[in-house]
Each structure stands twice: as structure tokens, then as C-alpha cells.
Amino acid sequence: MGFASTYLKERTLYPKLIGEAPHRDTGIIVVVPSCNEPSITNLLDSLASCAEPACATEVIIVVNSPAGAGPDVRNANIATLNETAEWKIRNPRSFLKLYTIDADTSQFCKWGVGMARKAGMDEALRRFDELERPDGIILNIDADCTVENNYFTEVYGGIPAGGNRSACSIYFEHPLEGKEFPQAVYRAIAQYELHLRYYYQGLCFAGFPNVHHTVGSAIAVKAMAYLKSGGMNRRMAGEDFYFIQKLVSAGGYFNLNSTTVYPSPRPSARVPFGTGPTIFRLAESNSGELMTYNTDAFRELRAFFCMTDSFYNTSNNENHYLYNELPESVRLFIEIEEWNRAICEIKGNTASLKSFRKRFYDWFNMFRIVKYMNFAHEDIMKKKPVVESALELLNESGHDFYSGDPVALLNFYRSLEKGYL
């Protein structure tokens, strides 16, 4: 009986997908969902050019297509299967052990990226279970990404076996120039990544303790942590956000900023939200201007989070007094009945301020913050151009930066996030 035997019996969707046994020294397995990808070998070349880690490394590509996909998608997927087979022949000495799963068949119909990612991660878990290696690392990446040369060595060293680190978000940067896409796409991706980093820094400014990017192509997780989280979900989009939320709540989640994943800025309409559809809409829009959250929302959250300790130190009979002191947008977002129920439940299950804080932020977590943001911008606040909001937040945080150029502003935010400023 392996450490994951119960999960593999009850929670996986399909039986064993790879017949060949894993090498006994396997410590990293990369999972790549692939649908209608024109250049999968770019990713493979990038991974193969990395410095080799102190363990055997596998790559599992799950070729899939969503429900209703036309013959052009199937033809592209057949090309991907052929390209990966040819790549293996051309690179017989690569330290990467490559496996390709053809999930684009009737047996696996109606697959989306969440389903494909789950199948690949479940298979990675199965292989680590065979090796009795609960500290084995499962890496998530998308088929149109490339990586920095130290990708494997930094991940392997950053999540040491036996340590209390169990999963991480990996630093990422989108390309901001090139000839692969029209200039409108590069202008759009600069604004979109600026939006992501503005949101990240806004949460830091607000004092939220669990600030992490939720980019599906830049996640690493130990096999045991994957198991304990209940595994990847099967959503058509946003599967990474919900998965990371579970990992953060479990503890041991961190940000790995010493290496970089380079996701593609490619426009796409394959999923309802995320990078691809946002770039598609923005590049096609007349204004070409991305609207983002008002900085006032982060100010309100900051005032709210500063009250956290007082929620613990006040008796339950006085909860309604504190409720009336909440920032207006937060008070309108949380009904008083929900507030009383949540605070009483949290206090009733904690014996110290430290444990109260942990449980409080498990309640008012990343998911609830997103819901708050959407609520606040329906009637209370107005969204602003991302450049305007990003400059305002920097000024509020004490940083001297005044350029309105999106690329220059983004590069400043990148440096801020990596700790260079």
C-alpha cells in the first residue's frame, strides 16, 4: 500500500495511463496540458536546455481538446503527438524522460484544461506513489511557455525533501516584445501583467498575509501536499486559482522568485476568462486600455485587516459594534448575520490570537477578496485605467515613480516583487 493508494482508488478519473515504471531516482514530474498547440517543441527545447537537477525528471504531456472542438483542433493535436515523438528521437540523451498521453479520443471526450491538468497530476502522483516518494515535486506548466535555465535546480532546491515548504507559485514574466504577435498583443500583455502585479502589491499594501499569484503555468507542489489538498479540480478555467487556495490554507505555500516561467501572450477564446481571453478582447478593443480595481478598495481592505486583532479581543456580544465600524464597502459586502456567524465560529474554534488570525484569513481568503472586489466595483467604486491605479498605489506606498509608460511601470513592479527595490 503506497501513501496515495486511497486517493488513487477513489479520486482519480482513469486507471494508470503510463505503463512504464518510473526511474527510481525520479524527483520531479512536469505536467503539461496541450490543446491545439502549434509549437510544443519550443517548451521541450527550453526544458531540455535547463541545468539538470539532482534527480531524474519526467515530462507528461496530456494532449486534449474541449467539447465541441472541430477537426482543426484534432489535426493540430495529431501534429503535437507526432512532434513529441520526433523530439524524443532527436534528443536520445536528454535528461528529460518524456511521456505523451493522447487524451483527444472518445475515451476522454469533453476534456478541458482543468480535466487534462488533473489527469496529468494524478498520474504524476501515481508514479511517486510507486516510488514511495511523498516529497516528489509535481510541476505545472503550459505548452506555450518557456523557462529560465535554472528552472529545475531552483525548484528542486526551493522545495527541499522533508522541509516545511510544500508548494509554491513560481515567478513569471510575459514577453513584452517580439515578432510572433502583432504589437497590439504586446501592448495588451504589458497592461494585463501590470494588472496582476498591481493586484498583488495592492493586497500586500492592505496587509493580507497570503499574497500569491495564481498562474496555472507556474505552480510546484509536493506529491503529499497535492494528495492532502484533494487534487486538482476539473474546471474549464480558473482551476489553478481554486487549487492554490486549498494549498495556501493547508500551509507551507510560498513564492519562488529565483527562477522564471515565461508564459506566452497569445490571445485565445478557448476559455471564458484568464490571460488568453483578456488579451484577445484588449487587443481587439478600440481604446486598448485595461481597466482595473480602484485603489480605494485596497485602502478599505487595509482598514478592515487592521481591525483583525480587535475581532478576537472583543466579546461575541459586542460583534455588532465592530460590524458598524467596518469600512463601508466591507460592511455592505458582508451581511451582519454572516458576520456574526463567522466571527463567533472562528473564535469558538481558536484558543489564541495566532490561531484566530489563521482561521480568519482562511475565511476571508483570496476567493472572498475577489468576490469583494467584484461587489465593490458594481456600485460603490469605479474601475480605473491600470496605469493610473498602479501609479497611485506606488505613491500611496512611498515609491517615487512617475512614468506613465506601461512597460516601464511594469518593470518597476517586477523589480518590486523580486525584492530589488
CATH numbers and ranges of domains, the chain: 5-16+24-288 (3.90.550.10), 295-379 (no CATH)
Q: Which residues contact 384 (CB under 8 A, 6 or more apart)?
A: 291, 292, 293, 294, 295, 392
Residue 296: which H helix or E strand, with range?
helix 295-305
Q: Which residues of 127-218 form beta strands (DSSP E)? A: 137-140, 146-147, 167-172
Residue 283: which H helix or E strand, with range?
helix 275-284
Distance CA 35, CA 39 (A): 11
Distance CA 287, CA 141 (A): 32
Sign of the C-alpha dihedral computed for residues 392, 395, 399 and 401 taken in this order:
positive
Q: Which residues contact 265 (CB under 8 A, 6 or more apart)?
A: 174, 175, 181, 185, 186, 188, 189, 275, 279
Mean residue pLDDT of the chain comes to 91
C-alpha distances in Å from residue 25, one per residue of 22, 130, 157 = 8, 12, 16
**Residues of the chain under the 50 pLDDT cut:** 106, 272
What's the pTM value of the predicted model, to 2 decimals?
0.93
Confidence (pLDDT) at 199: 98
Read off the pLDDT of residues 80-136 as tens digits, 9 standing for 90 and up.
Answer: 999 999 999 999 999 999 999 988 654 555 556 778 899 999 999 999 999 999 999
Confidence (pLDDT) at 65: 81
Confidence (pLDDT) at 276: 53
Confidence (pLDDT) at 316: 81
CA dihedral 357, 358, 363, 368 (to 10 degrees): 90
Nearest Cα residue to 390 out of 283, 257, 291? 291
- Tell the burial category of 178 from Cβ atoms under 10 Å away from its Cβ (0-12, 13-18, 19+): exposed
Confidence (pLDDT) at 235: 57
Q: Which residues contact 15 (CB under 8 A, 6 or more apart)?
A: none
The tally of CA atoms less than 13 A away on the side-chain side of residue 268 is 15
φ/ψ bin of 231: left (φ > 0), alpha (ψ from -120 to 50), beta (otherwise): left
Distance CA 349, CA 326 (A): 23
Q: Which residues contact 43 (CB under 8 A, 6 or more apart)?
A: 32, 141, 143, 144, 145, 146
Give me Rg for the CA atoms of the chain.
Answer: 22
Nearest Cα residue to 241 out of 276, 202, 273? 273
Distance CA 24, CA 130 (A): 9
Confidence (pLDDT) at 120: 95
The residues with which 32 forms a beta bridge, in sequence order, are 61
Read off the pLDDT of residues 202-227 as tens digits, 9 standing for 90 and up.
Answer: 999 999 999 999 998 999 999 999 99
CA dihedral 218, 27, 126, 32 (to 10 degrees): 30
Could you tell me what percentage of the chain is helix, strand and coil, using 3-state DSSP and rounding each to the nearest 5? 50, 15, 35
